[in-house]
Amino acid sequence: MDLTLLLDKIILDVEDKGARGTVADYIPALARVDPSHFGMAIAELDGTVHGVGDWQHPFSIQSMSKVFTLALVLAQADGADVWRRVGREPSGDPFNSLVQLEHEDGIPRNPFINAGALVVTDELARYGDAADELLTFLRTESGDPGLTVDAEVAASEAEHADRNRALAYFMAAYGNIRHPVPEVLDQYVRQCSIAMSCGDLARSALFLARHGIRNDGSRFIGQSEAKRINAVMLTCGTYDAAGQFAYRVGLPAKSGVGGGILAIVPGRCAVCVWSPGLDKRGNSVAGATALARFTTMTGWSIF
């Protein structure tokens, strides 16, 4: 299949649809991003990357970082301990909701809502600064040593982190945040504020398409861990719209309010699409449309 030609067709389809959504205005630095951007990249198993549009333009990865921090925790010898602290079920509530935490004694429903990601960051902090660990991994896997945290986005997000602060302190009251809350929040904000392109993200996520194998051929996580991450991406990766996304696209995916969506076709490729305009659930409107076209045109769904 000619993936470059495929991407050219997809971008034309997206442009024909016209709908772009609205940018995330509760983080001022993200509110200033031009919603007309669109980029998409496909990374094949051998590392070859095909792209279209703004696929080399860096953007804030936001919640897509949660896939990689979870993998970094599971790569540790005792990494599976994290599942005692966070669940694996869809939330059905907004990604920053406090409601379920109170009903479920400070245990987040899954690692991809904000509360769950804070627990994963706290767990990763056992082995060093979580944001630094993530940045080192992404620089290596993407092949781009210049990747860095967008300081403007990090500062903007930190200034508007009251809800995340509340989530962290609430879980700390139940003993489910073990490091000082300000330290965990700082590491969490910095990991979400890393700037990457679609090409870099797709290349960095290939270990999930290769069942745990990194770009240098070494094993990063076991096949079971890769399967489980993909499974949780499918059921929980697009906030409280995961069922609709699975129905429409049929791939494990993780979105971020920066407008990116990262999707995995196990055994074939990793795909990243970016368009900053979001729907009411926090997922990229044009990104979801592009991925739906991708699976329809290729037949590369997991179903």
In whole angstroms, give the CA distance from residue 169 to residue 156. Answer: 21
- Rounded distance, CA 255 to CA 66, Å? 10
Q: Given 188, 204, 284, 285, which residue is catalytic?
A: 188
Among the listed residues 239, 265, 271, 275, the single catalytic one is 239
Per the annotation, the verdict on 254 as an active-site residue is: no
Q: What's at 213, amino acid-wise?
A: I
Question: Would you say 234 and 265 are in contact if contact means Cβ atoms under 8 Å apart?
Answer: no
Catalytic: which of 65, 66, 67, 284? Answer: 66
63 is catalytic: yes
Say which residue the tokens 């990090």 belong to: 154
State yes or no: is 257 an active-site residue: yes
User: Which one of the listed residues 257, 271, 273, 285 is annotated catalytic?
Assistant: 257
User: What proportions of the chain, in percent to the nearest 5, are helix, strand and coil?
Assistant: 50, 15, 35
Q: What secondary structure, in 3-state letters, does 52-71 show?
A: EECCCCCEECHHHHHHHHHH
Query: Of residues 63, 204, 255, 284, which has the active-site annotation?
Result: 63
Q: Give whole-number Cα distances, 76 to 33, 151, 179, 250, in Å.
A: 37, 29, 18, 30
> What element of type H or E holds 263?
strand 260-265
CA atoms within 13 A on the CB side of 29: 18
Are 24 and 31 spatial neighbours (Cβ–Cβ below 8 Å)?
A: yes
φ/ψ of residue 237, rounded to 5: -80, -15
Hey, which residues are catalytic here?
A: 63, 66, 188, 239, 257
